[in-house]
């Protein structure tokens, strides 16, 4: 048999796995891969147990448990004044990752172009490649990590099938405003392309409110918006998320979803539906909850040689280590893990063409104060 020719020859193991493994191997404090080191709300865990015991253990409906889709529709109405039909416009998926993959495969064909802003979350491009599409990379400005819309305009054409945006943005922690989205809508007006908006950190915005593509009527018509319960309920391991899109787009997304996984995990969906109704304040309090963690962490980091602008959203803080070292970020991240006992994410891996000489790493501050205190003591000593 001939050697298998890889369909993704340039893809290795994701940086999140690489850095978490390195952290474990060296007993480092793991501020790399994004996940909380604390538990989901106790009541939510209780509800999962209840639904497991009550026998909610067989396949969920392909599009998701209706009670959960209805709870999401209510939330979208309350938060963004958006109407989304639970029957035809909301789909529960095993994680935002599956929703992203299904949305990309729903619209991207061989030869289509898909625009992403670098640094871009690492699951987008492989999905585009597997669909036969070509990823066009538009860098965000550094060090502000904001989009320059004229740069987007210069790559748009009739070949553009999809534009992927991510707000609040991983890894930079910046957010798009309503005005940014209005600009995006205006730029896309001449083109028949779609938008995929990764909004998994929608509830973690520190100043003002999250601007969703769903709340922009023009973008709403051409967008898939993707969300994750993992981020909102401190349960990344539950891998449960959802996609919201107009009926015709949802119909295509479901054709992929039904053969990728068919349905998301049943008892989790029932528990999340109950919890959203019982504790609507949970997601409303999330920004304050994480603002305290961000402030706790950055106050301590000020005593270090890292330079940074406090994150505007997500549970990530970017920092510039240029005053400590000029080595490439992947080397610095390894050395920080092995020699100083703090694992971080180098961000050059999220670029097609990393900016020369950039010295940024990403810290995850979704951690208990004791973890953040211990990590910052080590970082101050670097
Ligand atoms: N998009 C972004 C920007 C993320 O940070 C993550 C997180 N891990 C995901 C998508 C995937 O979310 P999930 O774990 O629900 O698949
Ligand atoms: N989204 C998480 C992060 O940015 C990681 C998710 C994963 O490990 N696949 O750190």
- Strands annotated E in 229-324: 241-244, 316-320
DSSP 8-state assignment for residue 313: B
The closest ligand to the CA of 32 turns out to be 2
- Indicate left, alpha or beta for 362 from its phi (over 0: left) and psi (-120 to 50: alpha): beta
First to last CA, the chain: 52
Instruction: Identify whether the C-beta of residue 232 lies closer than 8 Å to the C-beta of residue 36.
Output: no
Ligand 1 atom with minimal separation from the 170 CA:
3
**Rounded distance between C-alpha atoms, residue 152 and residue 113, angstroms:** 13
3-class DSSP string for 13-59: CCHHHHHHHHHHHHCCEECCCCCCCCCCCHHHHHHHHHHHHCCCCCC
**Rounded distance between C-alpha atoms, residue 333 and residue 94, angstroms:** 30
Instruction: Identify whether the C-beta of residue 173 lies closer than 8 Å to the C-beta of residue 207.
Output: no
The Å distance, Cα 97 to ligand 1 centre, comes to 6
- Candidate of 236, 237, 317, 361 to mutate for ligand 2, largest count of ligand atoms within 8 Å of Cβ: 236
Ligand 2-lining residues (CB < 6 angstroms): 14, 16, 33-34, 170
Instruction: Identify whether the C-beta of residue 175 lies closer than 8 Å to the C-beta of residue 168.
Output: yes
- Candidate of 12, 16, 317, 361 to mutate for ligand 2, largest count of ligand atoms within 8 Å of Cβ: 16
Q: Which fold has domain 42-279?
A: 3.40.640
Ligand 1 atom with minimal separation from the 240 CA:
15
Would you state the pLDDT for residue 2?
Answer: 67
User: Using a 6 Å cutoff on CB, does residue 33 contact ligand 1?
Assistant: no
User: Using a 6 Å cutoff on CB, does residue 200 contact ligand 1?
Assistant: yes
User: Using a 6 Å cutoff on CB, does residue 232 contact ligand 1?
Assistant: no
User: Using a 6 Å cutoff on CB, does residue 230 contact ligand 1?
Assistant: yes
Q: Which fold has domain 15-40+284-380?
A: 3.90.1150
The closest ligand to the CA of 236 turns out to be 1
Three-state DSSP class for 327? coil
Three-state DSSP class for 71? helix
**Rounded distance between C-alpha atoms, residue 298 and residue 122, angstroms:** 26
**Structure-token pair, residue 184:** 């995006």
Starting at the edge strand that comes first in sequence, how are the strands of the sheet with 316-320 ordered?
A: 316-320, 360-364, 345-346
The closest ligand to the CA of 314 turns out to be 1
- Indicate left, alpha or beta for 149 from its phi (over 0: left) and psi (-120 to 50: alpha): alpha
Q: Please, what are the averages of pLDDT over each run of 10 residues along the chain (382 residues)? A: 85 95 98 98 98 98 98 98 98 98 98 98 98 98 94 98 98 98 98 98 97 98 98 98 98 98 98 97 97 98 98 98 97 98 98 95 98 98 97
> The whole model's pTM is what?
0.97
The Å distance, Cα 16 to ligand 2 centre, comes to 6
User: Using a 6 Å cutoff on CB, does residue 228 contact ligand 1?
Assistant: yes
Atom 8 (ligand 2): residue with closest C-alpha?
16
- Strands annotated E in the chain: 29-30, 90-93, 113-118, 134-139, 160-166, 194-198, 223-228, 241-244, 316-320, 342-343, 345-346, 360-364
Query: 216-227 in b/e burial notation, b at 16+ Cβ within 10 A?
Result: bebbbebbbbbb
The closest ligand to the CA of 15 turns out to be 2
Instruction: Identify whether the C-beta of residue 199 lies closer than 8 Å to the C-beta of residue 226.
Output: yes
Domain ranges of the chain: 15-40+284-380, 42-279
Would you state the pLDDT for residue 3?
Answer: 77
User: Using a 6 Å cutoff on CB, does residue 236 contact ligand 1?
Assistant: yes
């Amino acid at each position: 048999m001939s050697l298998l020719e890889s369909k993704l020859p340039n893809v290795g193991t994701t940086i999140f796995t690489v850095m978490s493994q390195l952290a474990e191997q060296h007993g480092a404090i793991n501020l790399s891969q994004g996940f909380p080191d604390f538990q989901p709300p106790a009541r939510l865990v209780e509800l999962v147990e209840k639904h497991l015991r009550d026998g909610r253990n067989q396949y969920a409906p392909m599009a998701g448990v209706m009670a959960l889709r209805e709870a999401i529709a209510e939330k979208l109405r309350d938060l963004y004044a958006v109407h989304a039909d639970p029957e035809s416009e909301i789909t529960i998926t095993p994680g935002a990752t599956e929703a992203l993959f299904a949305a990309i495969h729903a619209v991207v064909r061989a030869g289509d172009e898909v625009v992403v802003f670098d640094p871009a979350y690492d699951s987008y491009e492989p999905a585009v490649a597997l669909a036969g599409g070509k990823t066009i990379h538009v860098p965000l400005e550094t060090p502000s990590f904001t989009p320059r819309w004229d740069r987007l305009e210069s790559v748009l054409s009739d070949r553009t099938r999809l534009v992927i945006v991510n707000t609040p943005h991983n890894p930079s922690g910046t957010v798009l405003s309503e005005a940014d989205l209005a600009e995006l809508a205006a730029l896309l007006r001449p083109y028949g392309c779609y938008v995929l908006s990764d909004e998994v950190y929608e509830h973690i915005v520190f100043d003002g409110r999250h601007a969703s593509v769903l709340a922009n009527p023009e973008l709403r018509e051409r967008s898939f918006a993707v969300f994750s319960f993992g981020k909102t309920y401190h349960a990344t391991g539950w891998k449960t998320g959802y996609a919201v899109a107009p009926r015709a787009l949802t119909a295509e997304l479901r054709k992929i979803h039904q053969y990728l996984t068919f349905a998301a995990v049943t008892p989790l969906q029932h528990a999340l539906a109950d919890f959203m109704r019982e504790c609507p304040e949970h997601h409303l309090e999330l920004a304050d909850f994480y603002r305290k963690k961000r402030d706790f962490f950055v106050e301590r980091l000020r005593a270090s040689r890292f330079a940074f602008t406090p994150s505007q959203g997500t549970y990530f803080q970017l920092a510039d280590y240029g005053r400590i070292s000029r080595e490439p970020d992947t080397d610095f991240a390894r050395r920080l893990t092995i020699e100083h006992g703090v694992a971080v994410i180098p961000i050059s891996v999220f670029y097609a063409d990393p900016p020369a000489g950039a010295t940024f790493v990403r810290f995850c501050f979704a951690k208990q104060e004791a973890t953040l205190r211990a990590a910052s003591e080590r970082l101050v000593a670097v």
